[in-house]
Chain A
Amino acid sequence: MRYLSEWDQWKRYSSKSWERFIEKAREMTTHLELWRKDIRSIEGKFGTGIQSYFSFLRFLVLLNLVIFLIIFMLVLLPVLLTRYKITNSSFVLIPSKGADIQCTVYPISSSGLIYFYSYIIDLLSGTGFLEDTCLFYGHYTIDGVKFQNFIYDLPLAYVLSTVAYLALSLLWIVKRSVEGFKSNLIRSEEHFQSYCNKIFAGWDFCITSRSVADLKHSSLRYELRADLEEERIRQKIAERTSEETIRIYSLRLFLNCIVLAVLAACFYAIYRATIFSQEHMKKEIDKMVFGENLLILYLPSIVITLANFITPIIFAKIIHYEDYSPGFEIRLTILRCVFMRLATICVLVFTLDSKITSCDNYPCELCGYNQKLYPCWETQVGQEMYKLMIFDLIIILAVTLFVDFPRKILVTYCSSWKLFQCWGQQEFAIPDNVLGIVYGQTICWIGAFFSPLLPAVATLKFIIIFYVKEISLLYTCRPSPRQFRASNSNFFFLLVLLIGLCLAIIPLTISIARIPSSKACGPFTNFNTTWEVVPKMVSTFPSSLQSLVHGITSEAFAVPFFMILCLVMFYFIALAGAHKRVVVQLREQLSLESRDKRYLIQKLTEAQRDMRNRLD
């Protein structure tokens, strides 16, 4: 028997106690996980597809919370500390020089007696009493905060907080999606192993209720039949004649033109609605009836919601004629709807930008922007984003309250009527719900620059949506037979979110770098554009660092860097192709080996038989 030396004994003991410590720490952190019990019970009742939606929602709540913390630390905290005299600091206000006095006029309308309904309107649209609060950009008309030892550069902090939250969102999303991407890449290779995956990993052992198990059976049946059908269709496509192919492709071209036309029509409608709303918003509040005022304020949001409601129906009809395989149909429709939803916000922001920079249809020369209508244009863009967010929340609550619950009640209690029987209970449609929350998150990303408290509003909104959707799911929904697989869903959700982030960066970049910042409010009254803060800061660096920064951002560096990146990417693609070929060769070799083995065993048994016969 081998005895362990003292050292080995101690090593083994300490490694075991370390493992136990790690396990205990892990146990404790799982208790801290937000909504753990709710999500587990949803997983048990409805399967992993719907559970991934709620995990995604939880991720967005955490993301918004972290974004708000960044903005709070960098921008809000110094302002609040000084305003409420918690620390011994003061504001630094530099009067703007060189700008026309007309650009710095900012009339804040404050009527003495506020009617109750105008209070509600202000709350819902961010005007009136909310306009001057720290909710919007216009409140931060401060050029610096003077603490005891240093001056805190608020404009620089504002811009850096924007860059920081965009970079953080990008990194976090990419980190989370790396797992899903790897498995998706494996699966998309010639539908490799999709059948084995469905059969061997098809049964979700988390399912705990009978009805859900029946549902799982029917969804597996549906999926298997759909896959087999798709394989038959693919074989049929491979056997198409060339004239049929030409006919199909010309039909597809025509239908894609129709899709583009529909998109263009929606964008134009949003453009006109925004312009109409902006022009008529300037009328006096008392001259309008309550409903009309609210309608005009919310007109862009209403048009966007209507467009997002109608276009999926049109796309679903069109795609039938394009004769794709069923799986591809679903994916293409979802991608078109995603693009539609997210592009509408960009169109809204671009419309606003074009209105802001045009004075009576001519480019503005005095201040660079239309200072008569938009003395503080960032605040007004922030108000539009705020309105979109509030309207989105109202619509979700209204649909749940006035469509889902009555539908469930009608279907349960009036099931004798044929109409309700056909209509059936609500299904929890995952793609639509995911698009909804990605839409909300895109608004938050764009709006956080113009309205620093918007991420906090978004966090609250997503928390409310979580509970509302959970209640709606548990009490009104029956699961749909077309299930989303968990591994597929996570990657799909994060891909859509990434598209939203990219579409959000475009208007932000244009607003920060191109449009002159307003001279009447905000931290950038002394700069031409918002981005100018950064070059000014760079010019205060020591000269060696300055030349380094200038070198990195010049073309002489960027073009070779880009070419090297392309070469590296090409190398990795070639490597992956070579690995694939090696895998195929090894599989062939394995099957040859087994054939050899079988041949040898055959020969051996024959030889044994011969020997036995000879002995007899």
Chain B
Amino acid sequence: MGGSGSRLSKELLVEYQDLTFLTKQEILLAHRWFCELLPQEHRSVEESLQARVSLEQILSLPELKRLIALHRAAVKIAMQSAWPSACNTANPFKERICRVFSTSPTRDSLSFEDFLDLLSVFSDTATPDIKSHYAFRIFDFDDDGTLNREDLSQLVNCLTGEGEDTRLSASEMKQLIDNILEESDIDRDGTINLSEFQHVISRSPDFASSFKIVL
């Protein structure tokens, strides 16, 4: 498939296998998808490793539209005009995921290695430590290193769906967040830091099976 220039070299494959949790097949598949996003003339191996792809382009990939999704609430308010209407994706944490894994200065585009990082963290074989670390960063909507009540209420709104009629009422939300903080906030400071989060996740039986993307 593709021209001879679009195959990764053996040493690169081995290096990527060592650095991530993905298998050889999964890396090749990811590289194929990534190359499809680049314009025709830039599809050689060297250029594909240097190129950066913007968020919209990644989201327009048909396979990826199913895998990565946009976080609606914050983005809708801030950048409504920017998103093309073709972004019809299902996961409410899309935008947060891309923002967390992106290494570009403006945090809105992913290179191939960012993309591999993303798939590696979400793969079956990643350790629970890594997954909980990245989950914490994804759920931290204001990027301040802790999950406070605002973060938690945004998280709950993501889960229950967009739209005014799908949100929980204010009293229900308060009761819910009080319960969550009671269960996980060990030092009683009103926020959840990384170690408290990891402690809660380690006792959670569903986390491993739900925090993965099936390749």
Contact = CB atoms under 8 A, between A and B. Distances in A.
Given A208-B66, A208-B67, A595-B188, A200 B200 contact: yes
Given A205-B122, A221-B166, A486 B209 contact: yes
Question: On chain A, which size bracket covers the interface?
Answer: 35 or more
B161 A217 contact: yes
A231 B205 contact: no
Interface string B176-211: 100110011011110000000100110111110111
Interface string A38-61: 001001100010000000000000
Interface string A189-203: 000110111011111
B99 interface: no
Contacts of B175: 228, 231
A203 B205 contact: no
B135 A200 contact: yes
Interface of B: 23, 25, 66-67, 69, 88-93, 122, 135, 139, 152, 155-156, 158-161, 166, 168, 172, 175-176, 179-180, 183-184, 186-189, 197, 200-201, 203-207, 209-214
Identify whether the interface residues of A are mostly helix, strand, loop, or mixed.
helix
Nearest to A217: B161
Interface of A: 23, 27, 40, 43-44, 48, 183, 186-187, 192-193, 195-197, 199-210, 212-214, 217-218, 220-221, 224-225, 228, 231, 485-487, 587, 590-591, 593-595, 598
B59 to A, nearest CB: 14
A45 to B, nearest CB: 11
B176 A206 contact: no
Contacts of B160: 217, 220-221, 224
Among the interface residues A40, A43, A206, which one has the most CB atoms of the partner chain B within 10 A? A206
B88 A210 contact: yes
Contacts of B213: 205-206
Q: Which 10 pairs of residues, A with B, have the shortest CB-CB distance? A: A594-B187, A217-B161, A183-B205, A213-B90, A208-B66, A201-B207, A487-B205, A201-B206, A221-B160, A197-B204
B204 to A, nearest CB: 5
Contact of B187 (A48, A195, A231, A591): A591
Contacts of B155: 199
A202 B203 contact: no
B87 to A, nearest CB: 11
A186 B203 contact: yes
A598 B67 CA distance: 43
B187 A221 contact: no
Contacts of B135: 200
Contacts of B212: 205-206
A196 B200 contact: yes
Given A202-B210, A487-B209, A193 B187 contact: no
B88 A593 contact: no
A207 B91 contact: yes
Among the interface residues B197, B210, B211, B212, which one has the most CB atoms of the partner chain A within 10 A? B210
A8 B24 CA distance: 26
Contact of A43 (B67, B166, B200, B214): B214
A213 B209 contact: no
A23 B183 CA distance: 38
10 contacts: A192-B203, A199-B156, A203-B159, A210-B88, A218-B166, A224-B176, A225-B168, A231-B175, A591-B188, A594-B189
B28 to A, nearest CB: 13
Contacts of B188: 591, 594-595
B13 to A, nearest CB: 11
Nearest to A232: B175
A203 B92 contact: yes
Contacts of A187: 205
Contacts of A213: 69, 90-92
Given A196-B184, A218-B161, 15 more contacts: A48-B210, A193-B203, A196-B183, A200-B200, A201-B210, A203-B159, A205-B91, A205-B211, A206-B214, A210-B89, A213-B92, A221-B168, A231-B179, A590-B187, A593-B187
